[in-house]
Amino acid sequence: MLQPKRTKFRKFQKGSFEGKVSNTKDLQHGNFALRSLTSGRLSARVIEAARRSMTRALKRHGQIWIRIFPDQNVSEKPAEVRMGKGKGNPAYWMVRVQAGQILFELGGVPVELARAAARLGAQKIPTQTIFVEG
């Protein structure tokens, strides 16, 4: 799964991720893309599951580019632990996704195959997405 090799800080604050994206809304690598319509948090497991389903749908043809990277960790406290006593330990990695952001790009395949692969990938993602042709 995706995660950074090292970070400056061990734990992160929750922060906000509302609004529309301005810099990652255009295609850069492929001819087709999967774009987010709503804001949300995507874990590294979700990104990997979507990537695997799209790769299997393409039957190893074409290419997939992942335009997001889970670089912030989420801390969780163990089950049945009382409140207080500090912040929990890092549990998993996630990325904040804004509305309009490109999540995955596909290239080197026909439009029908790319649309089918993007549909399978979108089923794994908890935010609303749309298929984009470049």
Residue 120: predicted pLDDT = 96
Quote the CA–CA distance of 84 and 28 in Å, as a whole number: 46
3-state SS assignment for residue 51: helix
Give this prediction's pTM: 0.89
Quote the CA–CA distance of 44 and 69 in Å, as a whole number: 8
Fold of 32-75+90-133: Aldehyde Oxidoreductase; domain 3 (3.90.1170)
The mean pLDDT value for 59-66 works out to 92
The mean pLDDT value for 14-36 works out to 83
